[in-house]
Amino acid sequence: MSKKQVVWFEEIDKNDISLVGGKGANLGEMTGADLPIPYGFIITASAYFEFIKGANLADKIKQTLSIINYDNQTEIEQASTHIRDLIISSPIPESISKKIVEYYEELNEKEAEYFGQNLSIFHHTVYKVKNLYNSPAVAVRSSATAEDLPDASFAGQQESFLNVSGDINLLHKVRECWASLFTTRAVYYRHTRGFGHFKVGLAVVVQRMIQSETSGIAFSIDPVTNDKTKIVIEAVYGLGEYIVQGKITPDHYEIDKNTFVITKKQIAYQDLKFIRSGRGNREIALNKKEGSLQKITDNQ
């Protein structure tokens, strides 16, 4: 498994963090538990390291990092931009890019099979034809192999992209995810915490896009106090990208894990939301009445 470049969700679990990162491993666990999550696949950290090697980037990146004065913010930003430009402009080795495209083009068909649909030869053909004219929209999400360690938090440092469609766009967004391992924030954080820049790999989750009316984040343990008796949920209207970016203050709910009683509820005013629009995304304003409402009901 450690050398696989691309894997379906059901092929991995919590023991594969070094291959698919924390986010990827959790998606594998949820798939294995038959939870109804959007289906997808993961481009592994092995593929990332093979890309770095195949594009001859390691020495260039190390050289750039070795001359940074970490007390100078401008120098860190310039080095970060240079490294990310190198990664984004470098071609993905054909052995990896072909595998990514192969999995992407099989997504509709594989998803139908996974959810129990017995496909005839005719339906297999239909799925292949549909992909030619209507490529599936996916979320492309970074999953660092060092996320959510007990003594460090890399979460939120890397990029994610929504409503990505088409082979060429997908491959470009994969490179952008890989490049985001070297954002100014990520480079500085690893340096100050003593983590080697090549000790952390990046897997990329490619997951069926859901056009949600409301999005959010759920924690099985309070992320602030580590209270294991609580479930914490945060929610916003539209896609969840603005929660991650900190652009919107979400509703905040705390639930007792034993009784499922809501013990705390904070409703935040939301003045805009991020939604899908055609093949892209756009921001729209909310009126005062809609923005003041609770984003998910108590029953939800």
Listed residues 192, 208, 224: the one ending a domain: 208
Q: Who contacts 102 (Cβ-Cβ below 8 Å, separation ≥6)?
A: 6
Domain boundary pick from 208, 231, 265: 208
Q: What strands lie across the sheet with 262-266, from one edge to the other?
A: 214-219, 230-237, 251-256, 262-266
Nearest CA among 300, 252, 247 for reference residue 271: 247
Which of 30-39, 113-122, 220-229 has the lowest average pLDDT?
113-122
Q: Does position 155 have pLDDT exceeding 90, yes or no?
A: no
Of the candidate ranges 13-22, 111-120, 139-148, 267-276, the one whose mean pLDDT is the lowest = 111-120
Q: Express each pLDDT in 53-80 by its tens digit.
A: 999 999 999 999 999 999 999 999 999 9
For the cut 80, the answer to whether the pLDDT of residue 280 exceeds it is no
Identify whether 42 is part of a domain. Answer: yes
Same domain? For 88 and 16 the reply is yes
CATH number at residue 82: 3.30.1490.20
Query: Do residues 155 and 283 both lie within one domain?
Result: no
Which pLDDT band holds residue 27 (cuts at 50, 70, 90)?
very high
Give per-residue pLDDT as tens, 133-152. 568 999 999 998 875 454 55
pLDDT for position 210: 82
Domain boundary among 174, 208, 242: 208
Q: Which of 27-31, 73-77, 85-89, 285-289 has the lowest mean pLDDT?
A: 285-289
Res. 122: pLDDT tops 50:
no
pLDDT mean over 233-237: 91
Q: From CA 271, how far away is CA 285, in angstroms rounded? A: 6
Residues 183 and 237 in one domain: no
What distances in angstroms separate CA 147 from CA 17, 157, 186, 191, 282, one per listed residue?
9, 9, 12, 16, 29
Structure tokens belonging to residue 80: 């970060």
Residue 104 domain-assigned (yes or no): yes
Q: Is residue 64 a part of any domain in this protein?
A: yes
Asked if the structure places residue 128 within a domain, the reply is yes
- Beta strands 214-219; 202-208: pairing state: unpaired
Same domain for 171 and 262, yes or no, is no
How many independent structural domains does the chain possess?
2
Whether residues 35 and 68 fall in one domain: yes
Q: Note whether 218 and 197 are same-domain residues.
A: no
- Find the helix packing angle between 184-193 and 73-89, rounded to 10°: 120
- Provide the CATH number for the domain around residue 235: 3.30.470.20
Q: Is residue 138 part of a domain?
A: yes
Domain ranges, residue 238: 214-291
60 & 198 share domain = yes
* Full-model pTM: 0.82
Separation CA 172–CA 88 (nearest Å): 7
Residues 105 and 239 in one domain: no
The verdict on 18 and 165 lying in the same domain is yes
Average pLDDT, the chain: 87
- pLDDT of 271 > 90? The answer is no
Check whether residue 37 and residue 168 sit in a common domain. yes
Same domain, 243 and 160: no
Q: Residues 147, 29: one domain?
A: yes
pLDDT at 177: 97
